[in-house]
Amino acid sequence: MNWNEVMVWGISGVVLAVLISFLRKKGKIGRLPGIILFLVVIIGGNILWNAVIKPRVMGESEEQKIDQALAELPLYGTIKAQEPALYAQIRSNILKMKKDGKPQQEAIDTVKPMVSELLSKRIVHAPDAAVNAAMQVNLEEMQTLLARKDGTCFKFLYPQVSGGVNTAEVLPPALFSKDLSTMNDLLLATGPQQSEFPAAVSTEKVILMMAPVRQALGNMYGDQLQMFSDLTKPDVDREKVCEISISLYSGILALQPADSAAILRQMLGKSN
């Protein structure tokens, strides 16, 4: 019980005592029944508050905080409008984590895989501009994290190997906001209202488009590319892996926009 509750119950006790004293003076109630009534009301009210009213009030307050936090992020507003079932699941997961004592930001970041899953499905038919813009921001994030020299770049790229990172903490606020904005733009460009879709590109053609990028990587890194065959090995140079990944995506984005978007759709997309 916090001091506010102590004050409320203290004032309530005084008011109740005054009321019972007034009733005794009027002859409406005896001394012993008055004491019993006082104890019943105070103890019963305390039980009712702690067991029923307080949990409900606190629960509603917690939900309001989560709703407000999500409402401040346009990305989640778009998900709520386009994918209400997914939004409800995200909200439910965050509330559960909060009840388990997790910080609100950590709870929000934990549902990122659910958002990533949606984005990987949408990117398959996203317009070229939206695909390339999202990848450009990702590239900026990789470069920023690699400059930290603390392993966060590798974790950002390959969370399945060594766990992910809280991008809200490790990225500059402006870049983090830019990332959320480009993800939102991609969702908006691929929503239910989408009428035009990019032309399908075969895997064979994508391989041909990638030829100059592969050649450039081979010339720059040679045998070091073999590290990608098993990133879990203890001798893997994780900073070098991140550097190579940056070179890879930089090379792709240097191609014609239609070609780079087609490649990225196949690399990052996931069929429904």
pLDDT at position 139 is 96
Residue 32 belongs to some domain of the structure: yes
153 and 235, same domain (yes or no):
yes
pLDDT at position 29 is 59
25 and 153, same domain (yes or no):
no
Encode pLDDT of 116-161 as tens digits: 899 999 999 999 999 999 999 999 999 999 999 999 999 999 988 8
Encode pLDDT of 244-255 as tens digits: 999 999 999 999
Encode pLDDT of 175-186 as tens digits: 999 999 999 999
Query: Residue 31's domain spans which residues?
Result: 1-71
149 and 62, same domain (yes or no):
no
Number of neighbouring beta carbons within 10 Å of residue 122: 24
133 and 247, same domain (yes or no):
yes
Longest dimension (CA), the chain: 102
Residue 95 belongs to some domain of the structure: no
User: How many domains does the chain fold into?
Assistant: 2
Residue 130 belongs to some domain of the structure: yes
135 and 215, same domain (yes or no):
yes
180 and 259, same domain (yes or no):
yes
First and final CA of the chain: distance in angstroms? 50
Residue 77 belongs to some domain of the structure: no
Residue 92 belongs to some domain of the structure: no
Residue 94 belongs to some domain of the structure: no
From residue 82, give the alpha-carbon distance in Å to each of 133, 157, 193, 215: 21, 27, 10, 41
53 and 131, same domain (yes or no):
no
Sign of CA dihedral 179, 181, 182, 184: positive
pLDDT at position 192 is 83
pLDDT at position 241 is 96
